[in-house]
Structure 1
Amino acid sequence: MTLILSLLTRQFVIQVSDRRLTKPDGTIHDDEVNKTAFYSRNASVAFTGLAFLGRDPTADWMLESLAQGSTLIQALRLLQTEATKKFRNLQRPQRVTPDAWRRIRRATFVTAGFAGLHNPQLAGLRGTIDELHPFMSVISNAEWPDGSWEPEAGLEFKHYFGWLPDGVHFQVRESGLGLSKGERRRLDRELSRCLPRVGSPEPAARILARAVREAADRHSGIGKSVVSMLITRNSPFFVGETLHEGNAIPVRGHRQTEEAMFRTMPDAAPMRFVYSPTDMDTFMHYSPNTVMPGLAIKSAELRKHDDDITVDMRMRARRFDIRA
């Protein structure tokens, strides 16, 4: 099960998660599974829980479901409805007992970003010039709004949606395996010191990514390969920005550092994501998935060949019909 940390602030939203996929018995299946996706330019979606729906990866199914919505809100409602149908009709594997299957079937989809709100007073919020407000959405068959989990999956996925309240400077949500009490206190303390001093998301993203990697030292279900999704308040208005603008791709022969990964290059476009590998010496780079109405784009992958010179760059896109 993944650890997802989602941070809401007035100026930017960050979602950080590890990429490890484990089997029901706790053994590692893959350390580089993309569990997150950008929804257009204004939100990030991640899942934790059951990794495969039959033969299909949950990440792929999530993209396909979201791509069939005409707006973000409609896409989330569709995800809730389709998740209830899909999970209810899953066939229990022969070697899994009914009790274990009810536990394994648990899953949560977390979305964080900015959404337009024309009448914020109806939600108890003050108006803004751009009409954008930071929000958090949780769709789950086992997780409650306070982050606690039921021991077994329910028959239906419930949808919890909330805005960052006025007067609250920032809000952090843990989903999945979670932090220890000491880790959470340290995270809140570091963010409280950092956020008033910065105007860009990279320093806070570095703190969140470090928290995930430190939790991985304690729990084998959390991986140290981490992706940080960065959504700034003005991201929805960037027309010319590329969808996969991330941290610098590693150069062969040069060891990466945490500081360098989260550093914005001079005159470069704002980073939309940061990929942090388990091994800082590895020549590997991944970009997140992206979904928008009618289109799903699978992660770009950069890998080293045996000759240590050329690389593979892979990206797959698929179109979908939008449901009325």
Structure 2
Amino acid sequence: MTLIQTVTTDDLVIQVADRRLSRPDGSVFDDDYTKLVCWNTSFTVGFAGLARIDPAQKKSTSEWLAETLCDYASFEDGVDALRYWASGQIGQLPTGKGWEDKRLGIIIAGFDRRRIPLVAEISNFDPEAPIPANQNEFKCYRIRRAPGHSASFRITGAALTEKMYANILLRRVPRMLKQQDGITRAARLMVALQRRISEDNPGVGRHAMAVAIPRERTMPAVLSNLDAPSLNTMNSNFCYFDDAGFNYKQLGPHMAGGGWAWADFVAEADPSNPDMQKVGGRVLKCPQPPPQAESTGC
């Protein structure tokens, strides 16, 4: 399967996703595709598994996530909605040859007004077990930090070996986050880990997107640094790690909130003059007006 890594501390969430996609027959492919969603500028949402969630295999799972979440303001309501509607969506898919693998794991992490890290995973499979016979049933798990640790980690999709998990994630990432520009160094290490896994696991891609959600944010916005591949702890922000090296064209996550859902976010700078920047996107869904009330003649 593909790979989503999520790191959570008291002050910060970092989520790193590859861009390789899974078909219902178990094969994988690459596409110009975003696997992360930024919800209410406060949560990052990623998934591993089925890339397209409709019978015609045209509707991307990440766009469906954005369209589903955009109508919900609270963490609990959004999580419950995803679990409920994911069961319905998977239940509509065909069965039989070519549709054996409909596994889907969704992870949500971030902060709300409670100012504590909130993490939940919604999944219809156990990564350590064979593909389940009933893939229409989704379960929800609240992820909490183990006692005595300064950070928690969640791997969704491709499994890590115990040695890699302990030595790289549990030891090095928390230490990096305490250093100057530690958030960027930690994200780069997570990307390096993803690429190392991809050498042995064809289900994991090499391109990566990272989203960072700080607990304390200076403004309700999602930003990107177009001068260098870096993240910051001031605002919700993203960075795209192209396997070929830094690119002034940064692919961003989908956006969801306030009834709006946006896709195909691209932030781009002129390489000869990085201060000249532009941002583009595509509207997936907009708020629906309330129903027109019948006139009473008042």
Same fold (TM over 0.5): yes
Q: 1:188-267 maps to which residues of 2 (within 5 A)?
A: 188-197=170-179, 201-235=183-217, 238-239=218-219, 242-243=221-222, 245-248=223-226, 260-262=228-230
Inter-partner Cα distance in structure 2 for 1:73 and 1:269: 25
Q: Deviations over 1:88-127 (max 9, x none)?
A: 12123xxx52xx634x1110110111234xxxxxxxxxxx
Q: Aligned letter for 2:128?
A: S
Q: Deviations over 1:216-262 (max 9, x none)?
A: 22222111110111011103xx33x532x11325xxxxxxxxxx412
Match for residue 72 of structure 2 among 46, 69, 73: 69
> Could you say which residue in structure 2 is the equivalent of 1:35?
35
Match for residue 280 of structure 1 among 245, 250, 259: 245
Q: Aligned letter for 1:57?
A: S
User: After alignment, is 180-189 or 205-214 more displaced?
Assistant: 180-189
Residue 105 of structure 2 aligns to a residue whose secondary structure is strand
Q: 8 Å contact 1:38–1:290 — kept in the other structure?
A: yes
Inter-partner Cα distance in structure 2 for 1:70 and 1:271: 17
Give the drift of 1:41: 2.2
Residue 91 of structure 1 aligns to a residue whose secondary structure is coil
Inter-partner Cα distance in structure 2 for 1:25 and 1:154: 14
Match for residue 289 of structure 1 among 244, 248, 254: 254
Q: 1:183 to 1:168 in 2, by over 3 A?
A: closer
Percent sequence identity over aligned pairs: 23
> Could you say which residue in structure 1 is the equivalent of 2:82?
79
User: After alignment, is 58-67 or 181-190 more displaced?
Assistant: 181-190
> Could you say which residue in structure 2 is the equivalent of 1:298?
263
> Could you say which residue in structure 2 is the equivalent of 1:126?
none
> Could you say which residue in structure 2 is the equivalent of 1:124?
none
Q: Deviations over 1:14-55 (max 9, x none)?
A: 11110122443535242x310101111221000111111223
> Could you say which residue in structure 2 is the equivalent of 1:177?
158
Inter-partner Cα distance in structure 1 for 2:143 and 2:231: 31
Inter-partner Cα distance in structure 2 for 1:112 and 1:322: 30
Inter-partner Cα distance in structure 1 for 2:116 and 2:181: 17
Q: 8 Å contact 2:43–2:109 — kept in the other structure?
A: yes
Q: Deviations over 1:139-189 (max 9, x none)?
A: 11113xxx6345225331111113436643111111101223343233123
Alignment coverage as a number of residue pairs: 278
Q: 8 Å contact 1:66–1:293 — kept in the other structure?
A: no
Q: 8 Å contact 1:13–1:232 — kept in the other structure?
A: yes
Q: 1:10 to 1:190 in 2, by over 3 A?
A: same
Q: 1:162 to 1:226 in 2, by over 3 A?
A: same
Q: 8 Å contact 1:11–1:199 — kept in the other structure?
A: no
Q: 8 Å contact 1:12–1:200 — kept in the other structure?
A: no
Q: CA RMSD in A?
A: 3.0
Q: Aligned letter for 1:148?
A: E
TM-score normalised to structure 2 length: 0.81
Q: 8 Å contact 2:176–2:182 — kept in the other structure?
A: no
Residue 112 of structure 2 aligns to a residue whose secondary structure is strand
Q: 1:13 to 1:313 in 2, by over 3 A?
A: closer
Q: Aligned letter for 1:66?
A: L
> Could you say which residue in structure 1 is the equivalent of 2:106?
109
Q: Aligned letter for 1:262?
A: S
> Could you say which residue in structure 1 is the equivalent of 2:21?
21
Q: 8 Å contact 1:22–1:28 — kept in the other structure?
A: yes
Q: 1:319 to 1:49 in 2, by over 3 A?
A: same
Residue 73 of structure 1 aligns to a residue whose secondary structure is helix
Inter-partner Cα distance in structure 1 for 2:147 and 2:282: 40
Q: 8 Å contact 1:69–1:322 — kept in the other structure?
A: no
Inter-partner Cα distance in structure 2 for 1:322 and 1:113: 29
Inter-partner Cα distance in structure 1 for 2:11 and 2:277: 36
Residue 298 of structure 1 aligns to a residue whose secondary structure is strand
> Could you say which residue in structure 1 is the equivalent of 2:128?
148
Residue 117 of structure 2 aligns to a residue whose secondary structure is strand
Inter-partner Cα distance in structure 2 for 1:156 and 1:232: 33
Inter-partner Cα distance in structure 2 for 1:194 and 1:303: 29
Q: 1:206 to 1:200 in 2, by over 3 A?
A: same
Q: 8 Å contact 1:5–1:17 — kept in the other structure?
A: yes
Give the drift of 1:212: 1.1
Residue 261 of structure 1 aligns to a residue whose secondary structure is coil
Residue 168 of structure 1 aligns to a residue whose secondary structure is coil
